[in-house]
Amino acid sequence: MPQLQLNYINGRWTEPRSGQSFERENPATGECLGRFPDSGREDVAAAVEAAASAFESWRFTPAPRRAEILFGAAELMRERKEELARGVTVEMGKVLAEARGDVQEAIDMTYFLAGEGRRQSGLTAPSELPDKLCLTLRQPHGVVAAITPWNFPMAIPCWKLMPALVLGNTVVFKPSPYSPLSAANLVHILEEAGLPPGVLNLLFGGDQAGARLVEEPRVAMVSFTGSLEVGREIAAYCARYGKRVHLELGGKNAIIVLDDANIDLAIEGSVWSAFGTTGQRCTAASRMIVQDRVAPAFTEKLVARAEALVLGDGLDPATDVGPVVNRQQLEKIERYMEIGRDEGASIACGGARATGDGLDRGYFFEPTVFVDARPSMRVAQEEIFGPVTTVLTCSDLEAAIEINNGVQYGLVSAIFTSDMSKALRAMERLSTGIVYLNAGTIGAEVQLPFGGTRGTGNGHREAGQAALDSYSEWKSVYIDYSGRLQKAQIDRHAGDEARSG
């Protein structure tokens, strides 16, 4: 039996009190990658206790000092980028070049947030009264529960941990059971960079461990990235108990291709956005909304490119598309093939598990394009989260925008057109949190806010300086140095009344 990895609680690598564990396999080969704790109620309580105890001293550690530790962690990630990237590929399957991108995003985010150690600036404003100052301070919430999915096992934890930590929160981090290796790698780095005990705690485990963490009374904020269904459950719980909650949920993102677009460029953007990361990105383009006149040529080229993609182990440089993450996901994608056919859509390419050449050992699905589809069909409405996209046709820009906005999610839209006024009209009217003009749906950078509207979130944003607003709240401070009791709204106007009287 493989050796058990340990939880990290109060600065020590600790055996789970639950006595339970799970194994994770490489989704490309079926090889066992290790055994990890399945944390129980006592483990969750110990991690939260450690984070709660560390909070007072961490929040009063000067922010530039906190940031120095993050900066050191970014340096270590940079040195170990290749090793970290290989860890990502073997546990969740994305090809190595994309895994390097995942790690690079983690590095960029960590440097960016380390810079916030010397900013975190607020507001100073004039007072309506003499000898009085008005200013604001950011305050951390306390213990933050960071619950993450498996598809960006380095970047997404850094989106959450780094702003939480630089602002003075302490954290209990519960990664997905499908990406435990990267979580351990990241926490080892933060430990080595000098985070004091208790400031960051790592709890391995499945969905139940996540649910228990949310329910711990001393957890002040839950930062969750994952599916719509789980996010809504967590939000309902947090509303009932007055916890802050930050949600980043699913997507049903679209690329619009107008008649006047550079079609070859649109095809490049579409292939990358639909099939990159095996379609398992929250920003994946699972709908192509193509204007009637160019739809046949666009579809023909898209299908040819999808058919030519090479499936395989992400460590193999010849591979374009890796496996999907697990058996359940493979079966879910298969079910959508039936759902699509039953609704009347046709499969132009793909549509089945990929086998042969060693692919049977892993969870591979052929890149798939649905055609003859309508916007209301389930395959054009629901998040499938695999290498599957649906081509829809439209008569003009207005129809394209209506189709784009007609889903419950609101993460990303993209439009390819050479008409600047159409591009700018679309930019204003596409109702997603992120819009790309003449690029695919993938390519967010850490300095801009990241997140979606409607079912994709609850109004918060990751990344950029917007992230600071999720992990802190404002304290307004009034400093009166007049030496007398001055009453705002009363003393200021008392003089006016005397004058007018």
Phi, psi of 391 (to 5 degrees): -90, 130
Q: Which positions are catalytic?
A: 248, 282
The single-letter DSSP state of residue 353 is B
CB distance 172 to 51 below 8 Å: yes
**Residue 102 interacts with ligand NAD (CB under 6 A): yes or no:** no
* Binding window for ligand NAD (CB under 6 A); candidates: 82-90, 162-170, 228-236, 256-264: 228-236
Measured from the CB atom, the residue of 227 and 431 that comes closer to ligand NAD is 227
Q: Hey, how many other C-beta atoms are within 10 angstroms of the C-beta on 423? A: 18
Tell me which residues in 475-494 interact with ligand NAD (CB under 6 A). none
Tell me which residues in 378-437 interact with ligand NAD (CB under 6 A). 383, 385, 411
Interface pattern 173-202 for ligand NAD (x via CB under 6 A): -x-xx-------------------------
Interface pattern 4-43 for ligand NAD (x via CB under 6 A): ----------------------------------------
Strand partners for 324: none
Residue 144 makes CB contacts below 8 A (sequence gap 6+) with 160, 164, 169, 170, 171, 172, 219, 220, 221, 222, 223, 471
Q: How far apart are CA 196 and CA 190, in angstroms?
A: 9
**Residue 207 interacts with ligand NAD (CB under 6 A): yes or no:** yes
Interface pattern 348-387 for ligand NAD (x via CB under 6 A): -----------------------------------x-x--
The single-letter DSSP state of residue 239 is H
CB 126, min distance to ligand NAD, A: 39
Q: How far apart are CA 430 and CA 440, in angstroms?
A: 15
Interface pattern 280-299 for ligand NAD (x via CB under 6 A): --x-----------------
The encoded tokens of residue 421 equal: 């006024």
- State the residue for tokens 């073997």: 90
Amino acid making up residue 277: T
Mind giving me the DSSP string for 430-448? Answer: --SSEEEESS-S----TTS
Of 63, 211, 309, 488, the one binding ligand NAD (CB under 6 A) is 211
Nearest CA among 240, 274, 245 for reference residue 257: 274
CB 444, min distance to ligand NAD, A: 9
* Binding window for ligand NAD (CB under 6 A); candidates: 74-82, 93-101, 170-178, 368-376: 170-178
The encoded tokens of residue 407 equal: 């889903």
**Residue 250 interacts with ligand NAD (CB under 6 A): yes or no:** yes
* Binding window for ligand NAD (CB under 6 A); candidates: 93-101, 110-118, 225-233, 256-264: 225-233
Of 115, 122, 206, 443, the one binding ligand NAD (CB under 6 A) is 206
**Residue 104 interacts with ligand NAD (CB under 6 A): yes or no:** no
Of 5, 148, 319, 417, the one binding ligand NAD (CB under 6 A) is 148
Residue 262 makes CB contacts below 8 A (sequence gap 6+) with 416, 418, 438
Nearest CA among 455, 369, 358 for reference residue 410: 455
CB 147, min distance to ligand NAD, A: 5
* Binding window for ligand NAD (CB under 6 A); candidates: 204-212, 307-315, 438-446, 465-473: 204-212
Nearest CA among 441, 374, 416 for reference residue 258: 416
Nearest CA among 210, 156, 162 for reference residue 183: 156
Estimate to the nearest angstrom the gap between the alpha carbon of 382 and the chain centroid: 18
**Residue 147 interacts with ligand NAD (CB under 6 A): yes or no:** yes
Measured from the CB atom, the residue of 148 and 413 that comes closer to ligand NAD is 148
The encoded tokens of residue 424 equal: 């700018």
Of 226, 322, 362, 440, the one binding ligand NAD (CB under 6 A) is 226
Which residues of the chain form contacts with ligand NAD (CB under 6 A)?
Answer: 147-152, 156, 174, 176-177, 206-207, 210-211, 214, 225-227, 230, 233-234, 248-251, 282, 383, 385, 411, 452, 456
